[in-house]
Structure 1
């Protein structure tokens, strides 16, 4: 029990020196601004000159990133030629002759967390039922997405039959400072579209009211597409009969929500983490997964190299309201970013 005679006046506490970095962002900004205002006039004059120089630096950065985007667009056409060859092999339209590998195989390191039969039994695999003389590589893209935690958490069991019809994913650099992710599908019983898209718009210049916030090309808005679902086949919604023979509409979490996120939902400050996660997934697909798809398929690239958790202890959910039970770990929207940056362990 605290001594009632102790004087809690702040002047009686020993002075503790801590760095401004330990303040929350808002307080830190206010603290630093106030400190700078109290600096000697000569120092403040120098700071004004330096900040004007910073604006000149930012203008050069704008030119740099705009030219970089142009260069990426030019090379994307060349990259796509190889991606088209890959797609023809995956689809089975081309049967390539056998080749010897031009790379050195990297031996797997067997440590204390070595793979066990129990691990294998618990994980659903699309590698097991592939026939010897199959056409192309079945379920190539679905397998890749399920090998990456950042996307696996978006895929639900009811999505998988439709995603088995996914035959290619492309990144298209548009001429209006944007890029589009294109998902190509075979004909299926769920929707009539053969192409689903998400377009991401890039800010290439600093904002007039916040010039010092410029940090290179950044996504600031996105447009999805309309999925033309066949009757009663919508994977994001369904119907459930009640005892009164009426029907209730149920909304389901689905991978296909990726193609339609209202702008208002992303613009809401409360959904900043959702927005950042969505944009990180877009960059991951464009910059890593699409260019190196086969390495995600083979496991030469894994997206959580330092993660030592047992697979059996993980339960992935986007429901922030669910609480963990026992050894089950809930990974919510705000945790996905830790799985987005992949590590390469081969080639």
Structure 2
């Protein structure tokens, strides 16, 4: 059984869908009811006659509609679909059961608040262990910049591939001899690891797409990228710090990008909470040296005077594509107004890049420099695609089976997660 309201909506749906059919029906009532004018008959007002006529026509129309097989079939199909939805099932439950369901929802809200507390403690753990990682990252910077040379023990690395190790053992003596012979010859010995971070930018598609040709000389001066978490008791956030050596482009030694996060259920929709999300970000001011700002370009435009006919040339600065626009981000709307689709996509992409720096690039920089992490990411994505293809095949098979029973199987399509959500921890 379904509720009267659902039944009414169903009948309305059928009525709208079959509007053309209704319009084509001819009324078979007594033609004497149709009058050529609005005059009275036997003292009965014309309005009363019109009302009686409409009521009679409505009854006859209803009888004809309900006797039509196509309409009845459509109505039956609609009723079956509605009766199978969770919301329609809930409507049929007794009030006592609905009362208990409301109690369960209150418990669910409390669970969401506990989960939010869980993620706050995860953030505290991330801050704690970031402090333990930092000495290693500081030494990494010293090796990259060449301020410190690694010892023989620190620079020794054994491959996990046994065949490569065996081959290395076989040629070890030959290598030693070759090194002694080459010692007398001049060999370039650059300081540290040149263009370390710039190479990572080139290797990672997500970053290389942002880098323009005129950005490259600047990024070659990048010496380190750090992640700093908000202090205890402060709103949840993290800061990306880009450390540059002195260069000819700007005077800043550090460029920063702050990502603000939210880790609490939404009061209007507490059941949507699935963990922390980035909600906004702030950049910094880049103090460009004269004529070195790559985020703008100067164009010349000719203007003709309407009266005198003279022509003058003016110059103006317009925005220019550059990675360094990363430090002048679009602001999330804080007044409750929704962003347009393009702005929302731009903001979501910014959040994704910031999260990628934090979770992948900074902790595993050397593996993105060598390309090993990129290969791992590609293999992981290929595995996911394979699983999706298998699942799609299964779903198609299920749909085919359903189609034999009901040729009008509905396609629900794919649902999308909020584009601004960015996970910081996966349970």
1:274 to 334, 346, 349: 346
69 and 245 in structure 1: CA distance in 2 versus 1, 3 angstrom threshold: same
Asked if the contact 2:280/2:332 (under 8 Å) is kept, the reply is: no
Unaligned 5+ segments in structure 2 are 1-19, 22-67, 165-186, 303-311, 383-418
Q: Matches of 1:304 and 1:37 in 2, distance apart?
A: 48
The aligned residue for residue 198 of structure 2 is 142
Identify which range, 268-277 or 196-205, moves more after superposition.
268-277
Matched, 1:258 2:258: no
Residues 1-347 of structure 1 correspond to what in structure 2 (within 5 A)? 12=73, 15=77, 36-98=90-152, 99-105=155-161, 132-175=188-231, 176=234, 177-242=236-301, 244-264=312-332, 268-270=339-341, 271-302=343-374, 303-305=377-379, 306=381
Is the contact made by 1:170 and 1:181 (CA closer than 8 Å) also made in structure 2? yes
Q: CA RMSD in A?
A: 3.5
Question: What do the CA deviations read for 1:117-162 (whole angstroms, capped 9, x no partner)?
Answer: xxxxxxxxxxxxxx84110111111110221111111111111111
Answer yes or no: is the 8 Å Cα contact 2:200–2:368 preserved in 1.
yes
Higher RCO (CA < 8 A, seq sep 6+): 1
CA shift in 2, pair 1:188/1:19, >3 Å: farther
* Residues 198/248 of structure 1: CA separation in 2 closer, same or farther (3 Å cut): same
- Unpaired runs of 5+ residues, structure 1, are 21-30, 109-130, 308-336, 342-347
Instruction: Say whether the 8 Å CA contact 2:295–2:324 is kept in structure 1.
Output: yes
Question: What secondary structure, in the 3-state scheme, does the structure 2 residue paired with 1:261 have?
Answer: coil
Contact 2:144–2:193 (CA<8 Å) still a contact in 1?
yes
Q: Are 2:279 and 2:332, in contact at CA under 8 Å, matched by a contact in 1? A: no
Mean Cα displacement is larger for which, 182-191 or 163-172?
A: 182-191
How far off its partner does 1:218 sit? 1.5
Local SS of the residue matching 1:304: helix
Mean Cα deviation higher: 287-296 or 220-229: 220-229
Distance 1:234 1:18 in 2: 65
Deviation of the 1:46 alpha carbon: 2.6
Q: Distance in 1 between matches of 2:329 and 2:156?
A: 45
Which structure features the higher share of helix residues?
2
Separation in structure 1 between the aligned mates of residue 315 and residue 272 of structure 2, nearest angstrom? 50
The 1:64/1:10 distance shift into structure 2, 3 A limit, reads farther
Q: Distance in 2 between matches of 1:33 and 1:226?
A: 52
Change (3 A) 1:298 1:8: farther
Distance 1:59 1:19 in 2: 36
CA distance 1:209–1:16, shift in 2 (3 Å)? closer
How many aligned positions are there? 277
Aligned partners of 2:297 and 2:318 also within 8 Å: yes
Higher Rg: 2
- How far apart are residue 12 of structure 1 and its match? 4.9
Is the Cα–Cα contact under 8 Å of residues 173 and 180 in structure 1 kept in the other structure? yes
Q: Distance in 2 between matches of 1:153 and 1:167?
A: 21
Deviation at 1:231, TM superposition (A): 2.0
For residues 226 and 17 of structure 1, do their structure 2 counterparts lie closer, same or farther at Cα, with a shift above 3 Å needed? farther
Distance 1:232 1:84 in 2: 34
CA drift of 1:34 comes to 6.2
Instruction: State whether residues 169 and 181 of structure 1, in contact with CA within 8 Å, keep that contact through their aligned partners in structure 2.
Output: yes
- Structure 1 CA distance, aligned partners of 2:141 and 2:371? 19
TM-score by length of 1: 0.70
Shift of 1:41: 2.2
